[in-house]
Every structure is written in C-alpha cells, then in structure tokens.
Amino acid sequence: MSKTSKKAELKSFNKPDEVRAFPKGKVELVKIGGTMIGRAVLEPGWRWSTSVKPLAKTKSCEASHFQYQLSGTLKVLMDDGTELECKAGDVALLPIGHDAWVVGKEPVVIVDFQGMVDYAKKS
C-alpha cells in the first residue's frame, strides 16, 4: 500500500478496472492503494507457453508473481528446472523465468499481489 494513502479504499473483482483475455483464461485487475492486484482465471488446457507467450513474445514468463491460489492445480516449471505444484490454499512466490499449466479438469483461480501490472498485455 502506498505510504501516502490516507483514506480507506474498497474495490471488487466483480467490477474490475481492466480485464485482459487470452486463450483459455483471463486476468481481472483492480488498482487499489497505488497497487495493481490481479485475479487470474485459468481454464483446463491453459498453459503459459501456448496462451500468453504469443502476447508476451518472451522465452518464458517474465512476471514475478506473489500469489494466493483459490482453486485448481497449477504446475510450474522454472527455467532452472525447479518444479512446483500449487493447489488451493497455497501461497507461491515465483521469480521471473517460468512456464505454468493447469493440471486436471478444475479451473485455477489465483489472486496475484505483484506480477499482473503488465501480464498478458498486448505489445
């Protein structure tokens, strides 16, 4: 939260400030306290390298994520070979340089407190 914020704020993902859609997913963004918070909804079959890479035009995801997972299972493969499997209730810190995909038939819903400012933004 911004150090200069002196008033209470309330925002809702039910009325996001911006929505970015991409194949098999979307990110809803709200700006609050001088910070952009994103909620990602990723459908079964979503994978960063096929759904977002064509927009980002980078080898791997260059957004650093600090996220809380609400539902589903997300497999993450870091560029250094580290693998994580994130599930509902998990909090993950994912530095720059990764691919990720939905595992199974349940959508993945994530709230990201750090990495959505430029995520899936068309260049």
End-to-end CA distance of the chain: 28
Report all structural domains of the chain as residue ranges with CATH numbers, in order of start: 18-112 (2.60.120.10)
Looking at residue 101, its amino acid is: W
CA angle 57, 22, 55 (to 5 degrees): 10
Which pLDDT score is estimated for 31? 95
Q: Which two tokens stand for residue 45?
A: 């079959």
Say whether 94 sits in a helix, a strand or coil: strand
pTM of the model: 0.91
pLDDT surpasses 60 at 7: yes
Q: How far is CA 117 from the centre of its chain?
A: 10
pLDDT for residue 58 is more than 70: yes
pLDDT at site 116: 87
User: What mean pLDDT, rounded, does the chain reach?
Assistant: 94
pLDDT score, position 15: 97
Sheet of strand 18-22: strand arrangement: 18-22, 25-32, 35-42, 108-112, 65-71, 91-94
